[in-house]
Chains A and B, each alone.
Chain A
Amino acid sequence: MTKLWQYLGRPAHFQFRLALALSAVSGASAVVLLGLSGWFLTASALAGLAGTGLIFNHLFPSAGVRAAAFTRVLSRYGEQLIGHDATLRLSASLRPQLFSQGARATRGLSPMASADLSLLLDDVEAAEGGFLRVIAPAASIISGAVAATALALATDLLLAVLVVLAFVLAAWWLPRCAAKKSRIAAAKHASQIDDARERVARLVENAVELDVIGAMPDTCERARKSLETQQVELDEMERPFRGLGAFNTALGTALALAFLARATTGAVDLALAAGTGLAVIAAFEACAAMVKAVDAAPRSEESASRLLRRLEAPGAIGEPKQNASVQLGTVFPLKFDDLIVTAAERAPRIGPVSGQIVSRSLTELVGPSGSGKTTLAEALMRLQPIQSGALTIAGTPIDRLRVATVLEKMAIAPQFPSFLPGSLYDQFYLADPAVSETQIWEALEIANATDFVTESAKGLKTLFDDGDGRFSGGELRRIGLARALLAGPQILVLDEPFAGLQPTLAEEIARRLTRWATDGDRAIILLQHAPTRFEWTGLRRNLISLAPSLP
């Protein structure tokens, strides 16, 4: 956890240290409060019995009792508040960095797999919670234990050693054993909850079918039973921790009694023994919280180191330093020779392919699905690394160009475009933060998307929320096309733009794209199963065929 924190440049280091100190103070003051009270009472009684009550210095101890009480309240409040503040500051530093580093390490356009994403979110949550769940409670308990041990040392050496051993047992060994047992149960539970979740999800999805064939009651019963088993296994996870708190208190009480027993022999001062006894009881009672801390510690640690690996991962595409890079006036000609790329590290090789893209041209990249058209196009845009071969842009080898420099001149409209949550307008804002409404409508016009956007009740304010099927697949693809146009590219990459469109509509879009391309220093790369039959008047046509790739 500390390594991750150091990597991030020790965010909120002042707050973390202060919160840690306050945790220690609050743990110790709770123990001191009871210990001092016990000692004060007994000493007062002894003084009273001896008739020396009036000369007994009661001012310091009674003030001490009150001071310990206030310290405990204030330090606890401060610890919680500052600890949360520090955690939130950590989060504000961690999450943006994870995002931007993740973006650098991503290959291609495809969204992160949902399993990976949920693992990442769990890791973020566990690592961020590490301080509040593990470090702060541990500091509080340990400082309480130290305070109690110090009192014990002042009372009796032998018993002090016993107290230390008992602390190791109560605050470290037992919780560790319990956490171990619980983790074994957790693995079993994980598979059971998956089963139950899948049963319920399928039941909900297939409800109508189950209803029609009359299988609903039986299916409900099976889902309910699976959930019942899941509950029992969840309880298995909690069971090892149960009663541990009560055991700690009993252990503390036993030790306190041992101090009193020692006092009966006259070997130790009675008032001191009584105070120590109460302090020990309080310290052991606090140990109960250690259980959860010990349980959470390895998880936070693992999560933090996974996050650190993610942050330290090299970018997917090698690029020169900011100041060593060359700026581009134009991308033409974009030349590639014997280019070989792969979609992932051990994926089949694609290529070698060679070609050249010049201004006012249409390059058709054809091949069956799985032949690597998309990966190759992404590699030309520098969204995928190149395994071998040469790629030069306007005569400059790509290793002297930053990825962003290339992307300034190239944009892609994917076959299955994905969108950020937000409005339709937000999608276009992503392509160009300075975009005007006129520009948006122009781009929508080229993509033949004005009709359905106008028809949508909220127009550009229509929201894109997950699972909101407001637009059909074909409509989404046209919105994706408009978005790519708004990025202002010289080379526009279109991935299967006409699949599933009515022929007349497809032809109309092709005509408008031709006009767009001939309107300036522009070119189009078209990814298709087979060459198109449209005219593309005024564009130099260029065909590159990809064979199905071999493993």
Chain B
Amino acid sequence: MNKPAQPTLKQVAKTYLNAWAAQSDSHLRATILLQSLATAAWIMIAWGVGHAVAAVSQAEPAFLPIFVAALGAAVRTLLVWQADTSAANAGMRMTAAARETIFNQISDVGAGLLSGVGAGERTSQIIDRTAKLYGYGARWLPGMRLAIIGPVIILIAVATQSWLAAALLLVSVLVLPVFIWLTASETAAIARAQQSSLDALSGAFQSRTAKAGLIRAFRGVARQTRVLEDASDTLRQKTMAVLKTAFLSTAVMEFFASISIALVAVYIGFKLLGIFPFGTGETITLAEGLTVLVMVPEFFAPIRRLSSLHHDRADGVAAAEMIGPWLETGFEKKVHRLKRLLCAPEIEFRGVALSFGGAAPFLAPTSFTARPSYMTALSGPSGSGKTSCLLALLGNNTLASGEILINGVPLEHGASLADSVAYLRQTPWVTEGSLADNIALARPEASKAEIESAAMQAGVMTFATVERGGLDQPLARFGAGLSGGERQRLALARAVLRDAPIWLLDEPTAHLDEQTEKDFLQRLRSISQGRTVLITSHSESVLSVCDEVINLTPAAAAETRAP
């Protein structure tokens, strides 16, 4: 059977990269145009310098060529400055476009898109990975085109002065790409290997330095110092092996640039002396010769720049290979929200095993029923899938086997009960605005009286005192200044206001001290009456107030326990 052709990782990455690049296209064009004009201005300088010297040598006035050269220098400065600015804009646009795509997809798909890797890593993907696209847009994209346009402009200009000099440049530039490509591809392969040992060294140094106290307590300082010394030494040897080839491509570049200048200089010099041994079918004047000589370095400049841009290209592609496929998974993770349930349902897990898309299940088949007006606790070691069970009700998990029944009706794949749910975790979301605004997030259309009543029931009024400004007191961003207990009461108020038939609480007391935890549980008990409540927790005090405690077993442990 033929599977439908799946686009490969590289193709997906390319599609995204091109889409982002398209958004910075106008800046890219401007950069290329301005930079090409700057190259033309360099020709003015070369022409001016060459003709000025020639004029002086023949005791003629050199005013015009000097003026042309000076004008060229001034114009070029302005053009390069503008080109740099628009290149920066292209880079910024590229990064911004990628971030836009990501945020749009998150808004569209929801929390499911963010699951799978740790919060720190996701954050870094959204901020740091996208930042790597700057170099791709600002340097690599224009640099790649200018490495062709720039030399062509100069080559034409050189050809008008001396065909042989032009031919010399052409030959040297034709063999160049082959060599650079050879060294670059080899270098890239070794560089990847070397990067991993660099990461290992930084990791080794970092973790040991951070835990120096522990190592000292076990008298391991001398030993661990030796480990670091050995790791540094290995890194040095590996790195040097890479660099020997890596710098070779730069050296080849430099070699051709230098030798071309030397060859052109020697050829023109001999020609002018009249001692060049072969007929080349051209005569060269001093003006032409010097013009060519001044132009030659500019011929190689964009190519040299390009050879230093491999990093920008690789970083950009790597970012797209990371982000593109990740965003693509969103199309499968998209959930549809079921209509709001009118009263608290019975939720039954029947032999449910959970897995992350296609992988082996991490939760052993589990069965339990959460009943209305009951508080059901899910317990078990970390990693046993407590939170994942809650997320399964929001359409965010794949069931490897079994089914979830809501009032006896199976919950289909990708269906979410979000509209019937109040969700509370260890650190609730707090945003800019007043306390009342924050409570109202749960149900934006709620009246003032409803908000006040919810706040009252959840115990928010105990800290929303008149001195602190009541419910209108402004909250700092992310709730700085609120204690853990106050935050949880705010979250409770939200849950009350939302009036949802199902309450899902994910380790709600993990950040609370004993007394605050007790107080929270008491309130929770009384105001969650009449709802179906599911709590995940390690805490003995939480488990003791629940009506039923379900112990979850990780799949791996269940396997080893089986006879």
Binding site for B on A (CB under 8 A): 33-34, 37-38, 40-42, 44-49, 53-54, 56, 58, 61-62, 65-66, 68-70, 72-73, 76-77, 80-81, 84-85, 88-89, 91-92, 95-96, 98-100, 102-104, 106-112, 114, 117, 120-121, 124, 193, 196-198, 200-213, 215-217, 219-221, 223-224, 227-228, 231-232, 235, 238, 242-243, 245-247, 249-250, 253-254, 256-257, 260-261, 263-264, 270, 273-274, 277-278, 281-282, 381, 383, 403-404, 407-408, 411-412, 418, 420-421, 430-431, 433, 454-457, 467, 469-473, 475, 483, 487, 500
Complex CA–CA separation, A28 to B209 (angstroms) = 43
On chain A, the residues within 8 Å of B66 by CB distance are 257, 260-261
Q: What residue of chain B has the Cβ atom nearest to residue A381's Cβ? A: B217
Between A and B, 14 residue pairs with Cβ closer than 8 Å are: A37-B262, A38-B293, A49-B57, A73-B251, A81-B243, A88-B239, A96-B229, A102-B212, A243-B81, A249-B73, A260-B66, A381-B217, A407-B219, A457-B560
Q: What residue of chain A has the Cβ atom nearest to residue B335's Cβ? A: A211
| Residue in B52, B111, B222 whose CB lies within 8 Å of A100 | B222
Range of interface residues on chain B?
35 or more
Tell me how far the C-beta of A46 lies from the nearest C-beta in chain B, rounded to whole angstroms: 6
Indicate if the CB atoms of A103 and B290 lie closer than 8 Å: no
Known: A96-B232, A213-B441, A472-B382. 17 other contacts (CB 8 A): A44-B268, A46-B57, A69-B258, A99-B205, A103-B221, A109-B214, A112-B210, A117-B206, A211-B394, A243-B84, A253-B70, A253-B72, A257-B49, A274-B49, A418-B214, A420-B211, A433-B223
Among B210, B250, B383: residue with most chain A CB under 10 A:
B210
Tell me how far the C-beta of A283 lies from the nearest C-beta in chain B, rounded to whole angstroms: 12
Tell me how far the C-beta of A333 lies from the nearest C-beta in chain B, rounded to whole angstroms: 22
| Residue in A41, A81, A200 whose CB lies within 8 Å of B269 | A41
On chain A, the residues within 8 Å of B431 by CB distance are 215, 219
Indicate if the CB atoms of B429 and A253 lie closer than 8 Å: no
- Specify the main secondary structure of chain A where it touches its partner: helix
Q: What residue of chain B has the Cβ atom nearest to residue A198's Cβ? A: B478
Q: Provided the pairs A80-B243, A84-B239, A257-B69 are in contact, do residues A246 and B81 lie with their beta carbons within 8 angstroms?
A: yes
Indicate if the CB atoms of B209 and A235 lie closer than 8 Å: no
Contact with A along B479-506 (1 / 0, CB 8 A): 0000000000000001000100000001
Tell me how far the C-beta of A68 lies from the nearest C-beta in chain B, rounded to whole angstroms: 7
Indicate if the CB atoms of A201 and B239 lie closer than 8 Å: no
Q: Provided the pairs A243-B84, A260-B56 are in contact, do residues A205 and B119 lie with their beta carbons within 8 angstroms?
A: yes
Indicate if the CB atoms of B205 and A270 lie closer than 8 Å: no
| Residue in B78, B214, B229, B236 whose CB lies within 8 Å of A111 | B214
Indicate if the CB atoms of B274 and A48 lie closer than 8 Å: yes
Complex CA–CA separation, A271 to B285 (angstroms) = 15
On chain A, the residues within 8 Å of B111 by CB distance are 207-208, 210-211, 216
Q: What residue of chain B has the Cβ atom nearest to residue A71's Cβ? A: B258
Indicate if the CB atoms of B428 and A212 lie closer than 8 Å: no
| Residue in A46, A206, A221, A403 whose CB lies within 8 Å of B429 | A206
Q: Provided the pairs A44-B272, A76-B254, A215-B429 are in contact, do residues A242 and B293 lie with their beta carbons within 8 angstroms?
A: no
Q: What residue of chain B has the Cβ atom nearest to residue A472's Cβ? A: B381
Q: Verify if B411 is at the interface (C-beta below 8 Å from A).
A: no
On chain A, the residues within 8 Å of B289 by CB distance are 41, 45
- Specify the main secondary structure of chain B where it touches its partner: helix
On chain B, the residues within 8 Å of A235 by CB distance are 88, 92
Q: Verify if B215 is at the interface (C-beta below 8 Å from A).
A: yes
Indicate if the CB atoms of B213 and A109 lie closer than 8 Å: yes
Q: Verify if B110 is at the interface (C-beta below 8 Å from A).
A: yes
B169-219 with Cβ < 8 A to chain A: 201-203, 205-219
Tell me how far the C-beta of A424 lies from the nearest C-beta in chain B, rounded to whole angstroms: 15
